[in-house]
Amino acid sequence: MRIDKLLWFLRFAKTRGLAQKWVDEGHIRRNGNRVERTGQPTAVGDILTLPLRGGVLVIELLSLPARRGPAAEARECYRVLDGERNFAIAERSNEPPEGPEGEYRP
């Protein structure tokens, strides 16, 4: 399945044209490599990195959707990887983490 169609089917993009724009601008990564064309095929097991408003989302494709269905149906086709981490660099503290009594912990 084409990556632009996949992003639209999975409801990450409101329109297929918007998904194509993201790909053309180089915002999407598949298995760590920048996607350079909208017709790039995707397969089950691919890891996609998507920059969204709330931060970067990394997903693994569990299945390819047959249609643009309800959001619940779309969520069954992927799983979020590393969902507990905060990817926004601006929100990270520049100070090293401290252990008990102010000791530095690597």
User: What pLDDT does 54 receive?
Assistant: 82
For 41-98, the pLDDT digits (tens) are 999 999 999 988 888 999 999 999 999 999 999 999 999 997 555 544 444 444 444 4
Q: Please state, in angstroms and as integers, the Cα–Cα distance from residue 97 to each residue in 10, 101, 106, following that order.
A: 37, 12, 7
Domains and CATH numbers, the chain: 3-102 (3.10.290.10)
Task: Single out the residue of 54, 17, 22 nearest to residue 35, CA to CA.
Answer: 22
User: What pLDDT does 97 receive?
Assistant: 47
pTM: 0.74
Q: Which residue has the tokens 């329109």?
A: 15
Higher pLDDT, 96 or 35: 35
